[in-house]
Amino acid sequence: MTTQVIDEIYALFAAAGDEHYGENATQIQHALQVAELVRQAGGDSPLIAAGLLHDVGQLIGDAGHAAERHGIDMRHEMLGNTLLKAHFPPAVTEPVRLHVDAKRYLCAIEPGYQTSLSAASWLSLTLQGGAMTAKERATFEAEPYFAEAVLLRRCDDGGKRKDWVVPTLDSYRPLLERLVGSGYDTRAAR
């Protein structure tokens, strides 16, 4: 049972991980690069897992192509959260759920952030509601995993290199197995 969801995630990567969804890197390259960037930034194990899994919702159905092909936002962060939250602790799932909001937040508070986005991120931003309003910012800043979501978003932006070699998907299986069903809560550890 523990490995069933991991097998399902790995099957999604096997089926659609080679897709680009408008970026230079494939989805599997992007996931692995984001996980590595989170590790390099000092993120804990759950946040590294969140980096790896943050776009898993893009791999479900045609969600990854929805913005560029159909001009709609399929809410991949919510699709991914729905898949993950029954199996992983909030320290993994909440940054996944919040990483799109973190992009909208950074667009609102950081001059020049929006213009630094890739073309695909820019397109999805317009479909996701654009920069946050003051009220939305206050609500987002009150989220328990606010800081983790912002760090994840910054790593998300950096993890789009075409030929960067990083640890493989299989190297993350032990980490995911430790976290599945663990109830790990970074709030309790602080």
Q: Which domains does the chain have, with CATH numbers?
A: 2-181 (1.10.3210.10)
Q: Determine the pLDDT at residue 125.
A: 76
Reading the block at residue 18, the tokens are: 């080679």
Start-to-end Cα distance in the chain: 30
pLDDT surpassing 60 at residue 69? no
Alpha carbon distances (Å) from 29 to 124, 140, 186: 19, 29, 27
Reading the block at residue 14, the tokens are: 């096997």
Could you tell me the pLDDT band of residue 188, with boundaries at 50, 70 and 90? very low
Higher pLDDT, 30 or 186: 30
Per the prediction, the chain carries an average pLDDT of 85
Q: Which tens digit of pLDDT belongs to each residue from 127-140?
A: 778 899 999 999 99
Q: What is the pTM of this model?
A: 0.89
- Note whether 21 and 121 are within 8 A (CB): no
For CA atoms 107, 108, 110, 112, the dihedral sign is positive
Distance (Å, rounded) from C-alpha 72 to C-alpha 53?
22
Q: One-letter amino acid identity for 51?
A: G
pLDDT surpassing 90 at residue 66? no
